[in-house]
Amino acid sequence: MRLEDEIQRRKTFAIISHPDAGKTTLTEKLLLFGGAIQVAGAVKSNKIKRSTTSDFMEIEKQRGISVSTSVMSFAYKNYLINLLDTPGHKDFAEDTYRTLTAVDSVILVIDSVNGVEAQTLRLMEVCRMRATPIMIFINKLDRDGKNYFDLFEEIEKKLNIALHPITIPINNGKNFKGVYNLEQKNIRFFSPHSKDSEQEIFNVEDLNNAELIAKIGEVDHKHLIDDIHLLEGVYGKLNTSDYLNARIAPVFCGSAVNNFGILELLEHFINLAPSPLNRATTVKVIEPQDSKFSGFIFKIHANLDPKHRDRIAFLRVCSGVFKRNTYYHHVRLQKDLRFSNPYTFMASQKEVLEDAYPGDVVGLFDTGNFKIGDTLTTGDDFYFTGIPTFSPEIFKELVNKNPMKTKQLEKGILQLTDEGIAQLFTQFGGNKKIIGCVGDLQFEVIQYRLLNEYGATCSFNTLPFYKACWLEGDKTAIENFAKFKQANIALDKTDKLVYLAQSEWFLNTEIRNNPDISFLFTNETQQK
Ligand code: G4P
């Protein structure tokens, strides 16, 4: 197959949601559609989460929380779909943010009972930064949820994105009858836990058809007619380029656990969702069709086996063809590397691959060569941009509890922070090591892994900071500020100066008092 055809058949995306909205369940159902997993009957939604199918790490098994991100590839019709799973737990949000740098679009799942939740808002911010095209799946319509129009308005307002309904629900909860497809003008009738092929589809040529009224009842029929008139008056045909430019999100309704409304989502997804897109770099825009291979590392994962400290680096192919046993240029290290066992993913089942195309994710064995954001090319020197680091929210001083293991501790913390599990800062003008994380759980992960993989024992002292801001702007102003505010200044791993703010009030005061300095909550991942 030609490179162009390989590119066009690929769709690389992630499903995102607030925990418990149904991301895992939807993932599982999509895999079933793609024939990637075979499960008889209804499967408990978090089975994937709790079994080994999408988990790599021991800690995840212990906690039953999706700590890691894995990749699931499956074929559907003529398409090859790469679904990048993201951890649901908020403490691992940074992992999710980074995964979003490797996808071309996302499906956002919203729980119809709870509406827009905290984590959804943050994920949406990241999507907006990158103008990622979004489809929305409103889930759990089999439960008594919010009124559809109220929910619709809430999503538009809170997520600040225009919506375009494709399927709408007919009632909800116990009275959920099914979904009406505004494009195809048909109804898919709800029957719990049925296969899509068993679900009845009713083509609505005449909205006043007696059979239709009998089927859904007069009250729901009246509401449906009112809803359709209202929506058809406001929304015409979906403008694809508005979706692709992240200005409009098509909306679908259903119930993932009941395998309902998913086919419509999947069909639209393969028709509308973008194939691998162009990517910005430090020197030019790289098109996937470019015959020279290039790609970047967006995630690094520790090996499950604590006896082996090797890791898996996840490479997103951006252009050309990646081939096994071929030398590629590691830009940061200025070194050529080749990979004899690169692999492709079907959850934890890994297969060695011969070649990979733009949009694909390749797992590379790593013995310490990679950091997040590293670029591999066929020889050119550039970095992909738009792989940001976000300000942590919890800061603790790392305390070495066993001086005999100082080296191991230092090596361990450097490697763990290279993986992106946390951020490491060093006190300005001192040696204090400060760890910044998004959630408390990560400190436990660090402690556990330092002990189990490096034999180092540590504890943490809580520090009174709430945000880290990277400082940019006038050099002298920054130097003076750093000297003056030394107790609140640290260096990140690339020696960039950051201001650690105790509170919003302090931060706003410093912003006001230092007009020549920009205080940034995100930082473009830099190589050193
Ligand atoms: P997450 O990955 O976003 O965290 O959510 P997950 O799919 O694990 O789903 C969270 C809970 O919501 C699960 O129930 C799941 O069964 C349920 N769920 C998912 N889709 C639907 C739906 O369409 N309708 C209803 N009523 N529930 C749904 P659980 O009790 O946590 O687990 P389980 O014991 O059911 O597996």
Give the lowest-confidence range in 25-39, 186-200, 274-288: 25-39
Tell how far the Cα of 52 is from the centroid of ligand 1, in angstroms. 18
Ligand 1 nearest-atom number relative to CA 28: 7
Ligand 1 nearest-atom number relative to CA 255: 23
Same domain flag for 264 and 300:
no
Residue with tokens 């009246």: 222
CATH number at residue 493: 3.30.70.3280
Using left for φ > 0, alpha for ψ between -120 and 50, and beta otherwise, residue 271 falls in alpha
497-514 pLDDT, tens digit each:
999 999 999 999 999 999
Is residue 120 a part of any domain in this protein?
Answer: yes
CB atoms inside a 10 Å sphere around CB 505: 9
Give the lowest-confidence range in 56-65, 277-286, 393-402: 56-65
Pocket mutation for ligand 1, best pick of 108, 257, 258, 260 (most atoms within 8 Å of C-beta): 257
Q: How confident is the model at residue 441 (pLDDT cuts 50, 70, 90)?
A: confident
Residue 159: in which H helix or E strand, if any?
helix 148-159
Residue with tokens 């890691």: 68
Is residue 13 a part of any domain in this protein?
Answer: yes
Predicted local distance difference test score (pLDDT) of residue 64: 39
Beta bridge partners of 362: 315
Ligand 1 nearest-atom number relative to CA 26: 7
Residues 164 and 243: their CA atoms lie apart, in Å, by: 9
Q: How confident is the model at residue 193 (pLDDT cuts 50, 70, 90)?
A: confident
User: What are phi and psi for residue 257, nearest 5 degrees?
Assistant: -65, -25
- Looking from the CA of 485 toward its CB, the CA atoms found within 13 Å total 22
Q: How confident is the model at residue 192 (pLDDT cuts 50, 70, 90)?
A: confident
135-177 pLDDT, tens digit each:
999 999 999 989 999 999 999 999 999 999 999 999 999 999 9
Of 319, 353, 377, which residue is a domain's last?
A: 377
Rounded to 5°, the CA angle 44-46-48 comes to 100
Residues 1 and 358: their CA atoms lie apart, in Å, by: 14
Tell how far the Cα of 360 is from the centroid of ligand 1, in angstroms. 29
Average pLDDT for residues 422-439, to the nearest whole number?
92
User: What are phi and psi for residue 348, nearest 5 degrees?
Assistant: -85, -5
Same domain flag for 197 and 294:
no
216-238 pLDDT, tens digit each:
999 999 999 999 999 988 888 89
Predicted local distance difference test score (pLDDT) of residue 304: 53
- Contacts of residue 1, defined as CB under 8 A and 6 or more positions apart, other chains included, come to none
On the question of pLDDT at 46 being above 50, the answer is no
Tell how far the Cα of 111 is from the centroid of ligand 1, in angstroms. 10
Is residue 231 a part of any domain in this protein?
Answer: yes
Domain that holds residue 208: 3-272
83-99 pLDDT, tens digit each:
987 776 666 777 788 88
Q: Which residues line ligand 1 (CB under 6 A)?
A: 17, 19-25, 44-46, 88, 139-140, 142-143, 255-258
Task: Kindly report the average pLDDT of the chain as a whole number.
Answer: 87
Domain count, the chain: 3
Using left for φ > 0, alpha for ψ between -120 and 50, and beta otherwise, residue 393 falls in alpha
CA distances from 373 to 68, 116, 499 (A): 18, 31, 23
Q: Report yes or no: 103 and 387 within 8 Å, Cβ to Cβ.
A: no
- Helices 148-159 and 118-130 pack at an angle, to 10 degrees, of 50
Nearest protein CA to atom 13 of ligand 1, as residue: 45
Q: Per-residue DSSP letters for 478-502?
A: HHHHHHHTGGGEEE-TT--EEEEES
Same domain flag for 368 and 392:
no
Q: How confident is the model at residue 42 (pLDDT cuts 50, 70, 90)?
A: very low
